[in-house]
Amino acid sequence: MISGGLDSSIALRHIKNLGFDVKAVTFSTGFGIAETHRSVGGRPRDGAVPRSESLHAAKEADVDFEFIDISDEYVDVVTSPRFGYGANMNPCIDCRILMMRKARRIMEEEGAEFVFTGEVLGQRPKSQRRDTLRLIERESGLTGRLLRPLSGRHLPPTSAEEKGLIRREDLFGLRGRGRKEQFALAEKLGLTDFPQPAGGCCFLTDESYSRRFRDFIEHREDRRYTKEDVVLLATGRHFRLGPAEKLIVARNDGENAILNRLAGDKWKLQATALKGPVALFAGEPDSECKALASKIVTRYGKGKNMPEVVVKWVKDGEDFDLTVCPSSDDSWIEQYRL
């Protein structure tokens, strides 16, 4: 199981160097930051399309690679996790169990000896404690068949070790959140082109994103979301204007393009004859809500210091113009911001 980050890249290269035939597998939940940026054509700010780090790591190690989309099954995991959330809306334990159950089936179909990961004991506070490592192994049906080579010396022997396929001295003794030993191992293994550890590759570990996501599902009776919703929650400024009314305002040209592309059945707002952001409004606004949303949009465009600005609303061939007076003070906006 490979993410393409430093730890899983080291594990991949090391097991391959021990002489095993390896198949690298990546599971996509729909909340991967790089994959989401790739799906919308690049990062919102610089427009550069990020590479697939997992595919790159597999290619560099010269192993087979499979990318598996589990986003449809992940909806129930993230909205109702059996083992709860981490610091934000990250259901890390349930997420790992789902992925490892999938990996177990691949292992059985391929006739493989074991599944291995780049997990490090004590590195993640939710999913990489000793007790949760055991829990995940048991719940996924991988007891004795799940190898964590970076911390193997601190963990019970797997079946591969008991069979003599791997020796204890072939395993490492990493633990904790430091990365000094990983960098040394990377140099020893000839790994030079890998992403720098950045504290998380999943939107759900981000506090700001989690706040928006929590608000989103709490205002949906069925607690469901779509792939487009995942992208929109990562885009722009978000404002909750009512139980069923929400406004998203772009922050730059890249986000303007994303909102234009994903407008769907939402109202699209933009000041006329002035340079300003694209905004999307979800819900059916009354006159008060229309004025409020339009006023917020004007605060982020060139007309924010003008006495009046005309904002055009467009949806499914229907459109109308609304003239509003931008406020000289935007502190009132904070009560709506997510």
132 and 272 assigned to the same domain? no
- Of the two residues 194 and 156, the one the predictor is more confident about is 156
Asked whether residue 230 is assigned to any structural domain, the reply reads: no
Lowest mean pLDDT segment, chosen from 68-77, 129-138, 186-195? 186-195
φ, ψ at 12 (rounded to 5°): -60, -50
Looking at the predicted structure, is the pLDDT value of residue 197 above 90? no
Q: What is the mean pLDDT of residues 48-64?
A: 86
Asked whether residue 118 is assigned to any structural domain, the reply reads: yes
Structural domain boundaries enclosing 55: 6-203
Provide the edge-to-edge strand list for the sheet that holds 267-271: 237-242, 245-249, 279-282, 267-271, 309-315, 318-324
Q: What is the mean pLDDT of residues 300-308?
A: 87
Asked whether residue 225 is assigned to any structural domain, the reply reads: no
Looking at the predicted structure, is the pLDDT value of residue 202 above 70? yes
Query: What's the pLDDT band for 290 if we cut at 50, 70, 90?
Result: very high
Q: What is the mean pLDDT of residues 95-113?
A: 96
Q: Please, how many CA atoms are within 13 Å of residue 96, restricted to the half-sphere of its CB?
A: 27
124 and 63 assigned to the same domain? yes
User: What's the whole-number average pLDDT of the chain?
Assistant: 90
322 and 241 assigned to the same domain? yes
Sign of CA dihedral 207, 211, 216, 221: positive
Measured distance between the N- and C-terminal CA atoms of the chain, rounded to whole angstroms: 35
Q: Are 98 and 81 in contact (CB under 8 A)?
A: no
Q: What is the pLDDT of residue 5?
A: 87
Long-range contacts of 214-222 (CB under 8 A, 24+ apart): 214/89, 215/240, 215/338, 217/79, 219/243, 219/244, 219/246
Look up the pTM and report it. Answer: 0.86
Q: What is the pLDDT of residue 4?
A: 86
173 and 264 assigned to the same domain? no
Number of domains comprising the chain: 2
49 and 102 assigned to the same domain? yes
Closest C-alpha among 5, 234, 200, 240 to residue 87: 200
Q: What is the pLDDT of residue 305?
A: 84
Q: What is the pLDDT of residue 159?
A: 96
Query: What's the pLDDT band for 53 if we cut at 50, 70, 90?
Result: confident
Long-range contacts of 131-135 (CB under 8 A, 24+ apart): 132/93, 135/83, 135/93
CATH code of the domain containing 192: 3.40.50.620
260 and 115 assigned to the same domain? no
pLDDT digits (tens, 9 = 90+) for 228-262: 999 999 999 999 999 999 999 999 998 999 999 99
11 and 139 assigned to the same domain? yes
120 and 42 assigned to the same domain? yes
Asked whether residue 293 is assigned to any structural domain, the reply reads: yes
Asked whether residue 222 is assigned to any structural domain, the reply reads: no
What is the spatial distance between Cα 200 and Cα 197, in angstroms, rounded to a whole number? Answer: 8
pLDDT digits (tens, 9 = 90+) for 127-163: 788 899 999 999 999 999 999 999 999 999 999 999 9
Q: What is the pLDDT of residue 33?
A: 81
80 and 197 assigned to the same domain? yes
34 and 102 assigned to the same domain? yes
pLDDT digits (tens, 9 = 90+) for 261-289: 999 999 999 999 888 899 999 999 999 99
Q: What is the pLDDT of residue 199?
A: 53
Question: Among residues of the chain, what percentage have pLDDT more than 70?
Answer: 95
